[in-house]
Amino acid sequence: MGDETTSGVRIGAVEAPPCKRPLEAIERDGEWIVREYYRRTDDPDDGVFSFGTYDSRIDAMRDGQRILQRRRHPCLLRWDTERSVGGLYWNPAFEGLTVEYSDLLRSWVVTAKDDHFVFQAADSTDGAYQLGKLVLEQYDFKTAEFYARDGTLETEREHRFLRHDITKSGVRFKRGQLPASVERPAPPPEAATQTESESSEGSSGGATEVINTLASVIPDIAELTALDVDGPVYRYRTPWDGGRAHVWILNPEQQDHRTLKHVFGDAIESWQELATHEHVATIHEVGPEPATWVVFDMPGATLVEFRENASTSKRVRILSGLGSAITAAQRRGIYRTDLEPDRIGVATAEATDAGRDDGRSDTSDSTLSASVTGLGVQRRVSAAVNEYDASRYMAPEQLRQEAMPTTPVYRLGAVAYWLLTGTEPFHRRQDFTTAIRNADLTPAHEVAQLSSDVSECIGKAMNTEPGARYRTGAAFVRELARRLGVSHVQ
């Protein structure tokens, strides 16, 4: 396979990828610089490549992420001060190494997870372990996994940046100042290192760039999981303050769509007006770059996950919170709420004194809090790009792209129908939009064990005539609770 060393290690004949330094984004004299990472032990006479100067950290981080992947540098450090690192971002190609036995090569091999390039090979497990550590440090991979011959994971090793937790508050670096005189302009990127996806705009790598750039401009975000990256709004999930939050960002490919940006921003502003309400999702952060985005609180479960084991009293309690939220929205002239089960979060807190339907104490009952997310963001943005997204929870007037003061009441009635029956409205009609227009709704008491009085109450909330509905969400839930014989919370 190659030359054999005195330690019994055989080096692959194929040339390894370039071994490049990490990058760093650091502020100096009021401007941000992206350059090669300078270690305290480096000789300043060797110089470092500089890739550009920027007016803001956002611009520096955005370009730094592009340089990271196009030039195949392993990672990017963002300095908050000259001695403390505020963020660390890895090139996906340098996420992991694998040390394992290859039956084909009859050797222990050190390979990159992403492309399986064989960096090194050895005759023994000890030799492979030492080589794995060597490649990890020389090429600045994030982690290395060491496997036994039978394929079981034996141990893992992290990059020194992670082992020393360099982004943790209180960690300080001792390194000398690097004078600007030793910075050299970086040469043009090698054509061989630019993949087709990296050199083309609007490729599948766009979602990855969004993730990396968002993580760089929102300091509290450590990782992002993509939930939906189709359509005008991208959706992600991220850990946040011991819980989880969701991130929505306008599709960066459409960030030059002036009307879309205005509609998205206006919808977020409407949401912010209500975000202090206890039953509206809390907004943590909002920003304009790399495209308009919002980070908001997402409770532990959605209403869909919560419903199955919920008692009637719990369901009414949830509806009570939702009624309060949409009534507050109505009072502010916000009629596009997009209310439906998968956009409603439910948080619980243990409360041993909560009651049951049968009057007995139930120590498993909880204090519940419903949380409305979005408040019309998705529908307003979709309408701006002429994407028609019908829903069984839509009011008839919404089929005409209109919204009335009682439109939120209709949607709350549709959610109540589902919550109390376990069946979506208009479930028997494939052409449900026609059924919505014609009020062809199967009464709730024909679907579940509910009284006709309850059906009548829900039917009034879902009346095709906006003026015939309950005036507010709170009024609807009060009447629904009375007919169900359940105490009303709010």
Q: Is the pLDDT of residue 78 over 60?
A: yes
Q: Is the pLDDT of residue 6 over 70?
A: no
Least confident of 132-146, 229-243, 405-419, 444-458: 229-243
Q: Is the pLDDT of residue 432 over 80?
A: yes
Q: Is the pLDDT of residue 333 over 70?
A: yes
* Token pair recorded at residue 241: 């303050």
> Per-residue DSSP letters for 450-490?
--HHHHHHHHHHT-SSGGGS-SSHHHHHHHHHHHHT-----
Question: Domain 205-296 class?
Answer: alpha beta
CA 243 centroid distance within chain: 13
> Per-residue DSSP letters for 100-168?
EEETTTTEEEEEETTT--EEEEESSHHHHHHHHHHHHHHTT-SEEEEE-TTS-EEEEEE-HHHHTTTTS
Q: How confident is the model at residue 60 (pLDDT cuts 50, 70, 90)?
A: confident
Length in residues, the chain:
490
CA dist., res. 231 & res. 244, Å (int):
23
Nearest CA-CA partner of 95 in 189, 234, 187, 211: 211
299-484 has the same fold as 205-296: no
Q: What is the pLDDT of residue 252?
A: 72
Q: Which residues contact 116 (CB under 8 A, 6 or more apart)?
A: none
Least confident of 121-130, 212-221, 280-289, 366-375: 212-221
CA dist., res. 350 & res. 252, Å (int):
42
Q: What is the pLDDT of residue 1?
A: 36
What are the CA-CA distances from residue 91 to residues 64, 77, 95, 114, 186 (Å)?
11, 11, 7, 11, 19
Percent with pLDDT over 70 in the chain = 76
Half-sphere exposure of 84 (CA within 13 A, CB side): 9
CA dist., res. 185 & res. 36, Å (int):
11
pTM of the shown model = 0.58
The single-letter DSSP state of residue 14 is S
Q: Is the pLDDT of residue 391 over 90?
A: no
What architecture is the 299-484 domain classified under in CATH?
A: Orthogonal Bundle (1.10)
* Domain parsing of the chain, residue ranges: 1-171, 205-296, 299-484
The sheet carrying 107-112 orders its strands as: 9-11, 118-122, 107-112, 96-102, 143-147, 153-158
Whether the Cβ atoms of residue 147 and residue 98 lie closer than 8 Å to each other: yes
Whether the Cβ atoms of residue 261 and residue 250 lie closer than 8 Å to each other: yes
416 C-beta neighbours (distance < 10 Å), count: 27
Helix, coil or strand: residue 395: coil
Higher pLDDT, 123 or 349: 123
